[in-house]
Structure 1
Amino acid sequence: MRWGRGGVAAVVVAVAVVGGGCTGDDGGRFRAGAGDVGDPYVPGAGNGGYDVDHYALTVRYDPAGKRLTGQATVTATATAGLSRFHLDLAGLTVDRVRVDGASAKHRRDGDELVVSPAHGLPAGRRFTVEVAYGGVPRPLPSGELGDGGFHATGDGAIALGQPESASTWFPANDHPSDKATYDIEVTVPDGLAALSNGVPKGQSSQDGWTTWRWSEGSPMASYLTTLVIGNYRVSTGTHAGKPLVTAVAAGLPADGPAATALARTGEVADFLAERFGPYPFDAYGGIAVADERIRYALETQTRPVYGPGFFADGRPNTEVVAHELAHQWFGDSVSLARWSDIWLNEGFATYAEWLWREHDGGRSVAQSFAERYMVTDWTKPSVDPGRAAMFGDAVYQRGALAVHALRRAVGDETFFRILRGWLAERRDGTATTADFVAYAERVAGRPLRPLFDAWLVGPERPAR
């Protein structure tokens, strides 16, 4: 993520647990799954007792009435014996729930959907949950970024946000520690685009409605899902043998700075691939929206979304494109196990901006480092910055300083070997700061913890 005018961006953490008391079934073999993954940065988000493998989403949205109807099929594996379990779902009405084809009891507890299957689910059991739901989606208050999640617009909708957004339009285990694959089918009135993540799987029209189909076959954190509906100029092509889909809101100039910047998506991705290793997904793209409520850009997997503020000065801002595309490696392919380690996303994406800026004829990386070094507030940590500082300079800029400090300490050859090896080893998974430090030490063959401590969390300015 990157802020538009007047801001920056975030994270902390989660341990999947199973809570609740024994139901007495089968001698205590089944228990209630936790309704909170335990991440203090996002209290109430995420759930325990299962891992989601796949979401199959079929939604229909009518902009005239701002009403969404949906059918979600969630395939998961129980990590403990479950008598009941939770899904995150904010504000929508649930009509029916089935578990493995059988009707299941369900109730709402705030923004939680609590499901009690007809029979307990043993640990290790793969099961399927079908949820029929609908209503008028509402975003969640998020403070720093404004409301996150599903926003109705004049011509459609935008579902977007960090750290939470998915639960406003489909039932989910809404925490990045539980990644899954997705098939997304969206039906909208003819003439409107319905854009989402992954590989385009075609469109079909019937009775005044058009269905758009998308498939993301690589594991994706729930906050990285997006749904953008409305009047958009959609460009479809290929790059490096993979689909490249970009879209620019009709309210933005057809040949303006947003369209010009997004047209360089493949070029920027290739530049980053030379440094980070192969592009990790099966599709490329980007979406430029016109809604002023979106004051940031977000690394929604395979298809980042850019708010209009990044192009307001008439400049084709490719630095934000570099930032969000870098997240496809740092944040999307290798995701956070806990939000307190968000610098692993934002520090590396900010550093990628520095790399691209130098490559594109701007300031050198050394100049960017020197400028940020002099103005950084070293009393604010990059790791575990606290919820209020999730989207602060310490996460982005101090994080990038730490990345360059590592490069200077180990040299270019070892530095880029660390990055490429880390991304290859952790691809499609999650990680923590401790994981990265241990990996860097292993590749460099020397202790690096004191360096990271000084540059990421030390209260005083480190020596250059």
Structure 2
Amino acid sequence: MMAARRLTTTFAALVLISLIGCAPSEGAVTGPGGRSTSAPGHAAASPGSGVDRSDAVGAPGIGDPTFPLDGNGGYDVGHYTLKLSYDPASRMLAGSTSIQAKAVQDLSRFDLDLHGFTVSRVTVGNSDATFTRDGDELVVTAPKMIAKDAPFTVTVDYSGVPDPVRNSSNLGSYGFIPTPDGAFVTAEPDGAKTWFPSNDHPADKATYDFEITVPTGLTAIANGEQVGEPTTSGGKTTFVWREKHPMASYLATMTTGKFDVRTGTSPGGIPVYAATDPKYRNTLDLLYTKTAQITDYWTTVFGPYPFSSTGGVVDDYEAGYALENQTKPIYGGFAPDSGIIAHELAHQWFGDSLSIKRWQDLWLNEGFASYAEWLWSEHSGGSTADQMFRTSYADTANAMWSYPPGKAQRDDLFNDSVYTRGAMTLHALRKEIGDDAFFALIKKWAATYKYGNVTTDEFIAMAEKTSGKKLGPLFDAWLFQPTRPALG
């Protein structure tokens, strides 16, 4: 992601922004200040109460200290099927979400993340389940015990006017945002819950099917590839999309509205889907061409493209930021330049294919994508990565020197340190181990953890093994110390 406040920076104008099946935490979760996250909907069952045992209740959070109530414990999602109908005139969203999951403990009760909406029915398997609401937790009591390791399907029927997350610390609004002709859907970090029930944390990735119905004349865009041609009946058109690769919930989208669309393949043979709101019609060909060109180039730097198509969407909602929605980065209310496109497409490797296990390691997404902007500038005849590094280093007044990027903070998640100092960390590493080892490391990192989840410790360990050097002091200085590192 790239943030609005970074649009005024000099080079490349940064805009905000366990392996497959990583199981959620089974442990207890505490909220801010150490308070228990147990609430009326999570009261422990009394001894002898049968199926509803306290040790068979999934935790209301996945165990991330930065966002203690995001995600849920007790199960691992494998696949979402989202059947959604949206009417821009009334702003009503009606949905039926089916979640295929596996229990990682005995489960009598578990949570889903869902913000707002009226829930009319919940089923587990083919049987009705009871449910309660507790803030953004949908608490589901299964009709019978779900044994550890057993697969199960939960389906939630719901409707209402989506309520996006508003005025967050340095991101503004995110989630499902209604627009005059449709919706702008960008969900980082935890906005998936504003439009579908989910295990809303990047540690639990899944595949997706989307069936989206909108008034005829509008286009519905989701992740992955379109399945067949849209079907129209009764003044409504249904679009079907499928993302067959694991995806974090915040990367899912159902952006809808009036769009001009161009499709084809890149020179390297990767299918491309580009769409722009009519306000940005003159941007369509540039978006298509640059997306194809840059995706192909990144395959030479980062390794094979991890997904089945690439693309981009420009909507007229003036978000002031871009988000790396998997296979289709979205640009909110501006025509992106090549540096921004390079950033979001680099995320397809770093952030989308390789997803973080905990939000504190966000630099692994944003530092890598920001450094990719520097690499793109160098490749395309602009400033070199070293020049950009030195320009940033010379900015002694920047607050990033007292704000190490190695542990992102909830109230300032998309801080300049995570982006710029994160990128500088990679350049310092490149200078220390040399180009051959550095670029071999980046490809190995992308290949080893493809479609999985990663941590900073894992990256440091791989960097040391690949280079044959002890790199602890370098990473400590650049990622964890609240001071400006000395240059060697």
Classify the TM-score, shorter chain. over 0.9
- Alignment partner, residue 288 of structure 1: 314
Q: Is the counterpart of residue 134 in structure 1 residue 159 in structure 2?
A: yes
- Alignment partner, residue 394 of structure 1: 417
CA offset digits 1:126-151 (Å, max 9, x no partner): 10011111111110233321121111
Secondary structure class of the residue paired with 1:264: helix
- 1:360 CA displacement: 1.4
Instruction: Pick one of 113, 126, 132 that aligns with 2:138.
Output: 113
- Alignment partner, residue 107 of structure 2: 82
CA offset digits 1:183-203 (Å, max 9, x no partner): 011000111010010011131
With structure 2 as the length reference, what TM-score do the two structures score? 0.89
- Alignment partner, residue 150 of structure 2: 125
- 1:64 CA displacement: 1.2
Q: How does 1:426-437 map to 2 (within 5 A)?
A: 426-437=449-460
- 1:28 CA displacement: 5.2
Q: Distance in 1 between matches of 2:5 and 2:115?
A: 29
Contact 1:30 1:121 in 2 (8 A): no
- Alignment partner, residue 372 of structure 1: 392
Q: Is the counterpart of residue 453 in structure 1 residue 479 in structure 2?
A: no
CA offset digits 1:336-391 (Å, max 9, x no partner): 10000000000010000000011112111111111011114421101113223311
1:430 aligned partner, one-letter code:
N
Q: Is the counterpart of residue 210 in structure 1 residue 230 in structure 2?
A: no
- Alignment partner, residue 68 of structure 1: 93
- Alignment partner, residue 16 of structure 1: 25
Secondary structure class of the residue paired with 2:402: coil
Q: How does 1:52-451 map to 2 (within 5 A)?
A: 52-141=77-166, 142-202=168-228, 203-239=230-266, 240-252=268-280, 254-256=281-283, 259-292=285-318, 294-309=319-334, 311=335, 317-375=337-395, 376=398, 377-451=400-474
Structure 1 unmatched runs, 5+:
none
Contact 1:29 1:81 in 2 (8 A): no
Contact 2:102 2:149 in 1 (8 A): yes
Secondary structure class of the residue paired with 1:401: helix
Q: Distance in 2 between matches of 1:270 and 1:361?
A: 17
Residues 6 and 274 of structure 1: CA distance in aligned 2, closer, same or farther (over 3 Å) = closer
1:181 aligned partner, one-letter code:
T
Contact 1:4 1:307 in 2 (8 A): no
Residues 36 and 29 of structure 1: CA distance in aligned 2, closer, same or farther (over 3 Å) = closer
- 1:442 CA displacement: 1.2
Contact 1:60 1:68 in 2 (8 A): yes
Contact 1:51 1:178 in 2 (8 A): yes
1:356 aligned partner, one-letter code:
W
- 1:26 CA displacement: 6.3
Q: Distance in 2 between matches of 1:104 and 1:9?
A: 40
Contact 1:190 1:205 in 2 (8 A): yes
Structure 2 unmatched runs, 5+:
8-14, 18-22, 29-41
Contact 1:18 1:80 in 2 (8 A): no
Residues 259 and 164 of structure 1: CA distance in aligned 2, closer, same or farther (over 3 Å) = farther
Secondary structure class of the residue paired with 1:76: strand
Residues 393 and 83 of structure 1: CA distance in aligned 2, closer, same or farther (over 3 Å) = same
Q: Distance in 1 between matches of 2:485 and 2:52?
A: 58
- 1:295 CA displacement: 1.5
With structure 1 as the length reference, what TM-score do the two structures score? 0.94
Q: Distance in 1 between matches of 2:345 and 2:55?
A: 43
Contact 2:78 2:100 in 1 (8 A): yes
- Alignment partner, residue 3 of structure 1: 3
Secondary structure class of the residue paired with 1:344: helix
2:158 aligned partner, one-letter code:
Y
Residues 188 and 326 of structure 1: CA distance in aligned 2, closer, same or farther (over 3 Å) = same
Q: Distance in 1 between matches of 2:301 and 2:171?
A: 31
Secondary structure class of the residue paired with 1:263: helix
Secondary structure class of the residue paired with 2:344: helix
Secondary structure class of the residue paired with 1:340: helix
2:136 aligned partner, one-letter code:
D
CA offset digits 1:235-272 (Å, max 9, x no partner): 122234443111001122x224x652443101101111
> Which piece of structure 1 moves more, 120-129 or 234-243?
234-243
- 1:15 CA displacement: 6.5
